[in-house]
């Protein structure tokens, strides 16, 4: 038998290769491709940049605070800032879509029964999780690459400044995707249907987001509820100050082991 690490690698790369051909992988890539093609087109025309720089910069200041708005709009390449805003805002949808079927379909079809006599549950579970991480991260890195090219051509910043900010944006987007993939690892282990786990993920996230936005208006003491979701730390991820950005990044990462652990508890004990 191959050693454990080798088995994990075989499972991981096979999952990445087959996920592109699978229904959930195809659906994710098609919707992701259409959405980002449209956004990239708008960015290349400068239409979205002008929206943030001109008429609605007051709104940007209101949402992110004057300092952050100035950083995003003026001090940093605006195209990349716009991309960062859109990427983080739409992340729950795309990450949930990509990650909804880590184990769900294979539990219902009992395909895992062909694997479990040859490798451990932990290897299957981790390979599926990291397979989705690779798929999502690669997709966003590809989009970030094109955004950097657009930014270099229209934002007027130096190449090193644009590329270094682009790398930071890519890193932020990749890390922000992790808690959503972890949440879906839990849901897809608990619900043996990819569609149902996606609906549960999106539905419960939307309901929680609405409740969290309403609660502080009822009582300001409830504002801490915002931090029960990764999106509670999104503001900090826009911030260019390291002292704000880094703790927010760490806070987002805390969700990952928590939900991976919960997912493993379910997957390791469930009948397959």
For binding to other proteins (CB under 8 A), which residues are involved? Answer: 1-2, 4, 7, 10-11, 14, 18, 21-22, 109-121, 269-272
Q: Give the Cα separation of 268 and 43 in Å (integer).
A: 45
Q: How far is the CB of 22 from other proteins (least distance, A)?
A: 7
Helix, strand, coil percentages, rounded to 5, for the chain? 85, 0, 15
Closer of 12 and 73 to other proteins (Cβ): 12
Q: How far is the CB of 100 from other proteins (least distance, A)?
A: 17
User: Six-digit token pair at 102?
Assistant: 């880590």
Q: How far apart are the first and last CA of the chain?
A: 23
Nearest to 100 by CA among 188, 204, 18, 12: 188
Closer of 11 and 39 to other proteins (Cβ): 11
Q: How far is the CB of 182 from other proteins (least distance, A)?
A: 23
Nearest to 146 by CA among 23, 38, 241: 38
Closer of 11 and 87 to other proteins (Cβ): 11
Closer of 2 and 257 to other proteins (Cβ): 2
DSSP 209-242: HHHHHHHHHH-GGGGGGGGGSGGGGHHHHH---H
Closer of 19 and 239 to other proteins (Cβ): 19
Closer of 20 and 250 to other proteins (Cβ): 20
Print burial letters for 186-215: b (CB count within 10 Å at least 16), e (below 16). bbbbbbbbbeebbebbbeebeeeeeebeeb
| Contact status, residue 177 vs residue 140, Cβ threshold 8 Å | yes
Q: Give the Cα separation of 97 and 195 in Å (integer).
A: 9
Q: How far is the CB of 183 from other proteins (least distance, A)?
A: 24
| Contact status, residue 106 vs residue 18, Cβ threshold 8 Å | no
Q: How far is the CB of 177 from other proteins (least distance, A)?
A: 25
| Contact status, residue 45 vs residue 79, Cβ threshold 8 Å | no
Q: How far is the CB of 113 from other proteins (least distance, A)?
A: 4
Q: How far is the CB of 134 from other proteins (least distance, A)?
A: 18
Closer of 120 and 235 to other proteins (Cβ): 120
């Amino acid at each position: 038998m191959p050693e454990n690490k080798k088995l994990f690698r075989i499972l991981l790369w096979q999952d990445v290769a087959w996920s592109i051909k699978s229904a959930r992988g195809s659906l994710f890539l098609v919707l992701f491709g259409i959405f980002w093609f449209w956004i990239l087109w708008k960015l290349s025309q400068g239409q979205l940049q002008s929206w943030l720089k001109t008429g609605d910069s007051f709104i940007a200041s209101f949402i992110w605070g004057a300092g952050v708005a100035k950083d995003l709009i003026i001090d940093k390449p605006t195209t990349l800032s716009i991309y960062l805003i859109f990427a983080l805002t739409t992340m729950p949808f795309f990450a949930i879509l990509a990650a909804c079927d880590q184990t769900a379909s294979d539990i219902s079809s009992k395909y895992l029964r062909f694997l479990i006599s040859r490798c451990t549950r932990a290897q299957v579970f981790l390979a599926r999780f990291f397979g989705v991480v690779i798929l999502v991260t690669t997709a966003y890195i590809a989009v970030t690459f094109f955004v950097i090219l657009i930014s270099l051509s229209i934002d007027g910043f130096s190449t090193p400044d644009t590329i270094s900010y682009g790398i930071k944006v890519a890193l932020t987007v990749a890390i922000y995707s992790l808690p959503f993939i972890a949440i879906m690892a839990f849901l897809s282990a608990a619900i043996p249907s990819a569609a149902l786990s996606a609906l549960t993920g999106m539905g419960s996230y939307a309901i929680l987001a609405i409740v969290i936005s309403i609660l502080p208006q009822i009582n300001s003491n409830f504002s801490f509820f915002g931090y029960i979701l990764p999106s509670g730390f999104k503001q900090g991820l826009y911030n260019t100050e390291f002292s704000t950005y880094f703790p927010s990044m760490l806070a987002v990462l805390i969700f990952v082991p928590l939900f991976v652990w919960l997912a493993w508890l379910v997957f390791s004990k469930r009948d397959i």
